[in-house]
Amino acid sequence: MRANEIRISFLEFFAKRGHHLVPSSSLIPKDDPTLLFTNAGMNQFKNIFLGLEKRSYTRAATVQKCLRVSGKHNDLEQVGRTPKHHTFFEMLGNFSFGDYFKEQAISYAWELITEVFKLPPDRLYITIYQEDEEAFNIWNKKIGIDSSRIFRFGKKDNFWAMGDTGPCGPCSEIHYDQGEEVEKGSPFELIESGSDRFVELWNLVFMEKFQTEQGQLLPLPKPSIDTGMGLERMAAVLQGKKSNYETDLFQPIIEAISEESGREYPAGTEEDVYFRIIADHIRAITFLIGDGVNPSNEGRGYVLRRLIRRAYRRGNLLGLDKPFLYRLTSIVGDIMKKAYPELMTSLPYISRVCLAEEERFAHTLNSGLRYFEQFAEEAVTSGQKVISGDKVFKLYDTFGFPVDLTQELAREKNLDIDEAGFHRELEVQKERARQSWEGETRAKEKSFYQSLKSLRITPVFYEKEEVEETEVLALIKEGKLVDILKEGETGEVILSITPFYAESGGQVGDSGILKSSSFSGTVENTFAPLPGLIVHRLKVLSGELRPGQSLSAVVDSTRRKAISRNHTATHLLHASLRLILGDHVRQSGSLVSPRRLRFDFTHFVALSEEEIRQVEQLINEKIRENLPVITKVTTLEEGLAEGAMAIFEEKYGEKVRLVRVGDFSKELCGGIHVKNTGEIGFFKIISESSVAAGLRRIEAVTGEEAFNYVKELENLLSQLVRTLKVSSQELPARVDKLLKNLEEQEEEIRQLKQKLISQASQSPEITIKEISGVKLVAQKFEGLDMESLRNYADSLKQKVGSGVIVLASATDGRVLLVIAVSPDLTEKIQANKMIKEIAQVIGGGGGGRTDFAQAGGSKTENIDLALQKCFDFLHKNL
Ligand code: ATP
Ligand code: MG
């Protein structure tokens, strides 16, 4: 059975038994901040198990992408060393949400494994939780498994818990015996010790208890089932292999590595481990990038970076000294595309991200290794046998060596590293970065605003642009509360009710006017130093302002409209880019101002002209359709369930605001939008550029600004039309013609220069001498450039046949010098050696080959002396 058939028969088996088939969720958990990566099939159902969410079905089955490189489940160290542990793997699972329980789950598993997959029962062993008599009886009595093949284990192995509190329960595992030839011994002990002879195929978790914060175990009202079977392990067993790496899921990758490196697999040496690590990591790398992770120095991005660097270094050890992983991503694509068709569209992107990271690392690996050697030697000679934290940090910081790489290198030399010391250095650097970024004043500012948190402010910016009566709650000047702001002064004001939108989510803050019968001032900007604390930057135009005073507040409505046009356009842009470029496109930052919008997103290559045109066309179409923009407040779960795009870096509270533009775009967003897309009028991209590896930026304008932009282009065009005196249609042809003329004239100038040289060669300034039978031709010019000198030296050399040619020219206040030596003489006279001496005379430097060298210097007055030195040089050396 090929892996793909295993996936399909698993899903079919459970679909026939009333299970709802749910697609794999992303490797990046959607709304679980406690989890870096999806590491089990049950992750995406966690809220159902917790009773927080309901679905239309009570049974489900999945094939789930999993990654176990961090947190509670971290198998990184085992990868490559065991035949059955991977970083990335697929977990086949069936789930019951308060539907069937233990007996049914066990029967399903046994039926699938022995009747569909046809595994011989005498190869199978069962483990159960020591106190789970119910499970024992089902396996023993109902299924008919001899008690000698059912092993009881303790809490560590056979009791599962979601966390310190929450659902938990005993579990039961099905193990496969690979045979005595792998390892002899008692099955119980071998399973306990994790021997390669036994493969844990399937784990069935019986969620029947709930652990309270006080540590009590209460019965769950609706016991549930969560199971997980490793696809790679099942494939190995069904394909009669002892190792997952010999299955069709890995073989093509192994073969490609073998081809790239010219090494055999298996070779029975440590190199086999490198093969397996690369083959394992490349799958994780491909899927991580496919799910939107970019290599970086933090969080998920750092895990990806480490995987790429670990794999790259293993390639290095196999003799590969250039990027190669990026090519393997397409092989992973080939193997997995049937199950994950979305991979195909993102493969080019994935391979580019991978290549860029490989190149970055390849660049510093060698110099880093040199430093490492030096550090290692110092550690040995000092007798410490430990590489200190600051050195580990230097390798990390300067050469991008992940700590585990340094650790590995150290281990190879029987050395240790000071990991704690490294983390201290890292903290120091982080603190430094934070301070220089935030500045101490910022920190102080923050604590000042903290003291104003209790002010009760009613924001009405979604509903209104004007408030007739609002009260001054506080006045601030230069970071201090004040009692008065006088005419001409600038400060900050906090209002009881405000129609002003404070800068957030990329949208700039509102501006406008505050007014009463005795006072007027302009709000220049609005911001929220703390969530909910809306602060207006105010300039007092007339009168004075004191706390408690009543005012009217009016937002600059024209500006607000321009901002909202750009904000809605940003949503249209986001949705359009995903449609046109693919689902890997994700917002990574945005700025929405009245004049323009800026949108940063993940995508590797520059957009083609055609793609830009498509995006513009699609957005303008949506504008003409005059789609309604509808907002509603909902919970984060519901918003996500409705398919709204959420920005990963953004932090969402309990309640979120869902902004829907027709059926075209859904985003969680707190910003201000137009009512109908028609208000945007016209959308135009004005630039597309790169921000960082894998990050692009689009800037665009809408409405009146877009009109102005087109108008400006038109003006530019008419200016050109006037200068060149042709119609705009004829412009391209005209410019082509001008460029051609220019080229012809440049050629003419070149020829004239050449002529000048040949005339010069008949000038009296030429000196021809014979020194010890060697002909020397020396000549002085004015105003020739280096290229002309070189050309002339070449032609002279041909004319003279055997000899030394020295040409000098005083040009633009500098001396240019060229020396050519015919090939028969380079044994005795080397042009590059000779020019080094002469160059000193003209106050400069130079170099070249033995038969040809050039130099430049500033001492034009020494040009004759330089030629004289040439004679001297020949006298001395011949
Ligand atoms: P093991 O003890 O072998 O590491 P586990 O107890 O960590 O496995 P579970 O957390 O119960 O495994 O996961 C369910 C199933 O997923 C396992 O029975 C196994 O088939 C598979 N699995 C778990 N970890 C890995 C891994 N690192 N690589 C491949 N398959 C795995
Ligand atoms: Mg494990």
DSSP codes, 633-680: EEEHHHHHHTT-B--TTS---SEEEEEEETTTEEEE--S---SBGGGG
Q: What is the H or E stretch that residue 769 is in?
A: strand 767-771
Q: Write down the pLDDT at residue 659.
A: 95
Q: Write down the pLDDT at residue 437.
A: 52
Has residue 574 got a pLDDT over 60?
yes
Q: Report the sign of the C-alpha dihedral through residues 185, 159, 68, 393, in that order.
A: negative
Q: Which ligand has the minimum distance to the alpha carbon of residue 280? A: 1
Q: Write down the pLDDT at residue 513.
A: 97
Answer yes or no: is the C-beta of 69 below 6 A from any ligand 1 atom: no
Q: Which atom of ligand 1 is nearest to the CA of 73?
A: 7
Q: Which residue has the higher pLDDT, 780 or 118?
A: 118
pLDDT tens digits along 459-491: 999 999 999 999 999 999 988 899 999 999 999
Beta bridge partners of 699: 598, 687
Q: What are phi and psi of 356, to 5 degrees?
A: -60, -40
Has residue 210 got a pLDDT over 80?
yes
pLDDT tens digits along 709-755: 999 999 999 999 999 998 888 999 999 999 999 999 999 988 887 77
Q: Which ligand has the minimum distance to the alpha carbon of residue 91? A: 1
Has residue 153 got a pLDDT over 90?
yes
The torsion of the CA quartet 740, 741, 744, 745, rounded to 10 degrees, works out to: -140
Among 89, 201, 307, residue to substitute to test ligand 1 (most atoms within 8 Å of Cβ) = 89
Please give the distance, rounded to the nearest whole angstrom, from the Cα atom of residue 288 to the centre of ligand 1.
19
Mean of the per-residue pLDDT values for the chain?
A: 91
Q: Which atom of ligand 1 is nearest to the CA of 205?
A: 11
Answer yes or no: is the C-beta of 86 below 6 A from any ligand 1 atom: yes
pLDDT-based confidence at 649, cuts 50/70/90?
Answer: very low
Please name which of 12, 229, 208, 201 lies closest in space to residue 103, comparing C-alpha atoms: 208
Q: What would the mean pLDDT of 813-827 be, rounded to a whole number? A: 92
pLDDT tens digits along 499-538: 999 998 889 999 999 999 999 999 999 999 888 899 999 9
Q: Which residue has the higher pLDDT, 520 or 162?
A: 520
Please give the distance, rounded to the nearest whole angstrom, from the Cα atom of residue 50 to the centre of ligand 1.
23
Answer yes or no: is the C-beta of 201 below 6 A from any ligand 1 atom: yes
Please give the distance, rounded to the nearest whole angstrom, from the Cα atom of residue 334 to the centre of ligand 2.
28
For 380, the token pair is: 């040995």
Has residue 562 got a pLDDT over 50?
yes
Please give the distance, rounded to the nearest whole angstrom, from the Cα atom of residue 199 to the centre of ligand 1.
9
Say whether pTM exceeds 0.85: no
Burial 822-838 (b: 16+ CB within 10 A, else e): beebeeebbbbbbbbeb
Q: Write down the pLDDT at residue 780.
A: 86
Q: Which atom of ligand 1 is nearest to the CA of 79?
A: 27
Q: Which atom of ligand 1 is nearest to the CA of 173?
A: 18
Q: Write down the pLDDT at residue 443.
A: 60
Has residue 650 got a pLDDT over 80?
no
pLDDT-based confidence at 765, cuts 50/70/90?
Answer: low
Measured between alpha carbons, how far is 157 from 159 in angstroms, rounded to an integer?
Answer: 6
Q: What would the mean pLDDT of 22-36 be, rounded to a whole number? A: 85
Please name which of 504, 491, 475, 497 lies closest in space to residue 555, comparing C-alpha atoms: 497
Answer yes or no: is the C-beta of 93 below 6 A from any ligand 1 atom: no
Q: How far apart are the first and last CA of the chain?
A: 83
Has residue 648 got a pLDDT over 60?
no
- Whether 811 and 793 have beta carbons less than 8 Å apart is answered as no
pLDDT tens digits along 46-73: 888 988 888 889 999 999 999 999 888 8
Answer yes or no: is the C-beta of 396 below 6 A from any ligand 1 atom: no
- Whether 499 and 555 have beta carbons less than 8 Å apart is answered as yes
Q: What would the mean pLDDT of 769-785 be, rounded to a whole number? A: 86
No. of helices (H) and no. of strands (E), the chain: 23, 35
Question: In the chain, what percentage of residues exceed pLDDT 90?
Answer: 65
Please give the distance, rounded to the nearest whole angstrom, from the Cα atom of residue 200 to the centre of ligand 1.
7
Has residue 693 got a pLDDT over 80?
no
Q: What are phi and psi of 266, to 5 degrees?
A: -80, 150
Has residue 191 got a pLDDT over 90?
yes
